[in-house]
A and B are shown apart, each in its own frame.
Chain A
Amino acid sequence: MPIGDMLLRSVDDGQINTVFPRTFEEYKKWDREKDELPPEIVYRTLFEELATGEKIQVGRALTRMNYSKSGWKSLIKKTSREIKKMTKKGEIPESYKDTLIQINKDWGDPTFWYSMAQMLNTKTPIYYWNAIDRTYDQDQNVIMQDEKRRIYVQTWLKTLKVSVYVTFFCLILGFPVAHLLANLPLRYSNLLMIFVLLPFWTSLLVRTTAWIVMLQQKGVINGVLVWLGILSDDGRIQMVYNETGTLIAMTQILLPFMILPLYSVMRVIPKSHMRAAQNLGAKPATAFLRVYLPQTIPGMSAGGLLVFVLAIGYFITPELVGGKDGKLIGSWIAYHLKTTLNWGLCAALGAILLGVMLIFYWLYNKIVGIDNIKLG
Chain B
Amino acid sequence: MALPTYATPVQRTYYYAYLFFCGVVFFFLVAPLIAIVPISFSKSPFMIFTEGMLAWPPEPEAWSLRWYKNMVGNCSADVVSSTVPCSTKWMTGTVNSFFIGITATVIATALGTLAALGLSRPHMPFKGIIMAILISPMIVPLIITAAGMFFFYARVNLVYTFTGVILAHVALATPFVVITVTATLVGFDMNMVKAAQSLGAKPTRTFFKVIMPLILPGIISGALFAFITSFDEVVIVMFMASLDQLTIPKQMWAGIRQEISPVILCMATCLVVLSIFLLTTVELLRRRSEKLRGITAR
Interface residues of chain A, those whose CB is within 8 Å of chain B, are: 1-6, 9, 173-174, 176-177, 180, 183-184, 186, 190, 192, 194-199, 201-214, 216, 218-220, 223, 252, 255-256, 267, 284, 309-310, 312-316, 320, 330, 333-334, 337-338, 343, 346-347, 350, 353-354, 357, 361, 370-371, 373, 375-376
Contacts and interface: CB of A to CB of B under 8 A. Distances in A.
A210 B141 contact: no
A375 B148 contact: no
B22 to A, nearest CB: 5
Interface string B44-78: 00111100000000000000000000000000000
B30 interface: yes
Given A177-B22, A219-B48, 13 more contacts: A3-B144, A5-B148, A5-B155, A176-B25, A198-B30, A202-B33, A203-B232, A205-B252, A210-B268, A213-B48, A255-B28, A313-B144, A343-B151
Interface in B9-65: 11, 18-19, 21-22, 25-26, 28-33, 35-36, 39, 46-49
Contacts of B152: 1-2, 5-6
A282 B30 CA distance: 37
A292 to B, nearest CB: 13
A6 B147 contact: yes
B250 to A, nearest CB: 9
Contact of A176 (B18, B35, B135, B256): B18
A95 B31 CA distance: 76
A195 B253 contact: no
Contacts of B180: 375
Contacts of A190: 283
Contacts of B235: 315-316, 334
A207 B33 contact: yes
A339 to B, nearest CB: 12
Contacts of A218: 46, 48
Residue of B39, B143, B150, B231 ringed by the most chain A CB atoms within 10 A: B143
A304 B91 CA distance: 39
A201 to B, nearest CB: 4
A361 B278 CA distance: 30
Nearest to A371: B131
Q: Using C-beta atoms within 8 Å of the partner chain, give the interface range for chain B.
A: 35 or more
Nearest to B34: A210
Chain A contact surface mostly: helix
A152 B193 CA distance: 57
A201 B143 contact: no
Contact of B179 (A202, A206, A213, A373): A373
B143 A333 contact: yes
A39 B139 CA distance: 54
B35 A210 contact: yes
Contact of B265 (A202, A207, A213): A213
Interface in B244-287: 249, 252-253, 256-257, 260, 264-265, 268, 271-272, 275-276, 278-279, 282-283, 286
A357 B179 contact: no
Contact of A204 (B139, B232, B260): B232
A225 B257 CA distance: 27
Given A206-B271, A206-B272, A370-B132, A353 B141 contact: yes
Residue of A3, A4, A196, A214 ringed by the most chain B CB atoms within 10 A: A3
Contact of B32 (A176, A207, A267): A207
B141 A357 contact: yes
A350 B148 contact: yes
Contacts of A176: 18, 21-22, 25
A371 B150 CA distance: 29
29 contacts: A2-B145, A3-B140, A5-B151, A176-B21, A177-B26, A184-B1, A186-B298, A201-B276, A202-B275, A203-B268, A204-B232, A204-B234, A205-B232, A205-B234, A206-B271, A209-B36, A209-B252, A210-B268, A214-B32, A223-B48, A255-B29, A309-B141, A313-B140, A315-B235, A333-B147, A334-B238, A337-B239, A350-B148, A357-B141
